[in-house]
Amino acid sequence: MIEVKNIIKSFEGRVVLNNISAVFETGKTNLIIGRSGSGKTVMIKSIIGLIKPDSGQILYDNRDFTCMNKKELHDVRREMGMLFQGSALFDSMTVLENVMFPLEMFSKDSKKEKLARAQFCLDRVNLTEAGNLFPSEISGGMMKRAAIARAIALKPKYLFCDEPNSGLDPKTSLLIDDLIHSITIEYKMTTVINTHDMNSVMNIGDNIIFIKEGVKEWEGNKDQVINSTNKALNDFVFASDLFKKVKENEMFNNEG
């Protein structure tokens, strides 16, 4: 579990995160949503330590990340997995070598054990036959799955995903959502996802926080989104005609 308590962050006098508190639960997909410029990217960067908040606490299983020494920080970061928006695979490495990269950097296992772990991760994301291919030889969806395999190679307790569906078609996006959700449950990880994708909200939003202009405007889950009366949330989530119809149908069914 990750708990954020009263986080405040400003840049040049402009408050970007204004006293935000939230709990990200283990074994669930925890989504941070909001418009561009709302503060959600600063939020996730603060949680993983790329940005230091002006005040507040960030607790990893009751360990305060904001006041750790170097060794403690290293130990917690060793427990993190990252899925970057653009996958961030190394072009000069094969898919298998990309998955092995964090193992080569941080694991003390033998070469044979590292290879076995990397292949296991590729098998888990259904890329069994892609290990010897280069990133330029696989599709965008396969690149995302390879990046997920790399993110879980070190058996992280905490998984962070930045716009995991960016650039993917709707069908592939759903597959990536389902994969992230299933491995979160399977490995009992605390997964935090920064996303604009409303399909993700409706599909895997176990816990959701909605940030508006640096303030936590709403929190709940995918079922509560449908019935929410929060205007700012509704204007954001149900902006498209399709999702407006979803909302209207749900309201009609509830009245009936």
* N-term to C-term CA, the chain: 39
Q: Is 29 inside a domain boundary?
A: yes
CA distance linking residue 213 with residue 232, whole number of Å: 11
Q: Is 144 inside a domain boundary?
A: no
Q: Is 133 inside a domain boundary?
A: no
Q: Is 137 inside a domain boundary?
A: no
Q: Is 39 inside a domain boundary?
A: yes
CA distance linking residue 125 with residue 159, whole number of Å: 15
Residue 248 pLDDT level (bands cut at 50, 70, 90): low
Average pLDDT, the chain: 90
Model pTM? 0.89
CA distance linking residue 47 with residue 76, whole number of Å: 12
Q: Is 55 inside a domain boundary?
A: yes
CA distance linking residue 26 with residue 189, whole number of Å: 6
Question: For the segment 74-121, what is each residue's pLDDT rounded down to a tens digit?
Answer: 889 889 999 988 788 999 999 999 999 999 988 889 999 999 999 999
User: What is the percent of the chain with per-residue pLDDT over 90, rounded to a whole number?
Assistant: 68
How many domains does one find in the chain? 1
Q: Is 16 inside a domain boundary?
A: yes
Domain housing 163: 1-79+157-168+192-256
Q: What is the residue-wise DSSP string for 61-114? A: TTEEGGG--HHHHHHHHTTEEEE-TT----TTS-HHHHHHHHHHHH--S-HHHH
Nearest to 112 by CA among 120, 135, 94, 148: 120
Residue 187 pLDDT level (bands cut at 50, 70, 90): very high
CATH of the domain at 36: 3.40.50.300
Contact 13, 201 (CB under 8 A): no
